Amino acid sequence: MKPDKKIKTILVLFGLIIAFMCGFVWWKFESIDLDNDSTVVQELEALDYEKDLSNTSVISAIEGNAEFKFPLSSREIFAYTTGLRDIYIQTRFAIDKADLDEFIDSTRCDVPLSTLTVPAEIASPQFDWWMLSSAKIVKGCKGTTENFEQEVYVDMSDFEIYVIYVRGGTH
């Protein structure tokens, strides 16, 4: 066989191999059912309760999703998290009055706490632990970053233990 014929034969075989591979890939992707609900990724949904800060993995996840740090006195921690790409979180917990400033400093609030009326859609409970509607004295603040919005409400009805409510989410 002449060298030119060998090169042509190799090129033809190489072309056939590439054509076969392309056909196989097309056939494989053609068989995928993109309309089948079983291939759709379900969004995350978690409902948590922690008596204190001892379960560090859950506490870290809540802090990361809600973008704040729990003070050491934090207890009776409830959280609801949902989302897939954008995360939404609601959390409620109690702290000692003395830890309020430390907590607020860790939030996204860009103005000091101020007395406010909580909108009905925020006050009404989606969960039995979200008791903002029964708060007598509420102060709150809001903050926004490029990718995150946060609302903080502080129930100051008890003069020693404050109940904190935080709503936040990515956008």
Whether the pLDDT of residue 1 is over 70: the answer is no
What pLDDT score does 106 carry? Answer: 97
For residues 110-121, give the mean pLDDT. 89
Q: What is the pLDDT of residues 77-112, one digit of tens each?
A: 999 999 988 999 999 999 999 999 999 999 999 999
For residues 112-123, give the mean pLDDT. 87
Question: Which candidate, 36, 30, 73, places its Cα nearest to that of 51?
Answer: 73
CB neighbours of 133 closer than 8 A, spacing ≥ 6? Answer: 118, 123, 124, 125
Q: Which two tokens stand for residue 153?
A: 């409400």
Whether the pLDDT of residue 125 is over 90: the answer is no
35: confidence class by pLDDT, cuts 50, 70, 90 = low
Q: What is the residue extent of each domain of the chain?
A: 3-34, 41-170
Q: Which two tokens stand for residue 138?
A: 């509420």
Per DSSP, the three-state class of 39 is helix
What pLDDT score does 169 carry? Answer: 95
What pLDDT score does 25 carry? Answer: 67
- Cβ atoms 150, 109 nearer than 8 A: yes
What pLDDT score does 36 carry? Answer: 56
Whether the pLDDT of residue 155 is over 80: the answer is yes
Q: What is the mean pLDDT of the chain?
A: 88
What pLDDT score does 63 carry? Answer: 97
- For residues 45 and 90, the model is more confident at 90
What pLDDT score does 148 carry? Answer: 96
What pLDDT score does 91 carry? Answer: 97
**Phi/psi class of residue 145: alpha, beta or left (left: φ > 0; alpha: ψ in -120 to 50)?**
beta
What pLDDT score does 9 carry? Answer: 80
- Model-level pTM? 0.75
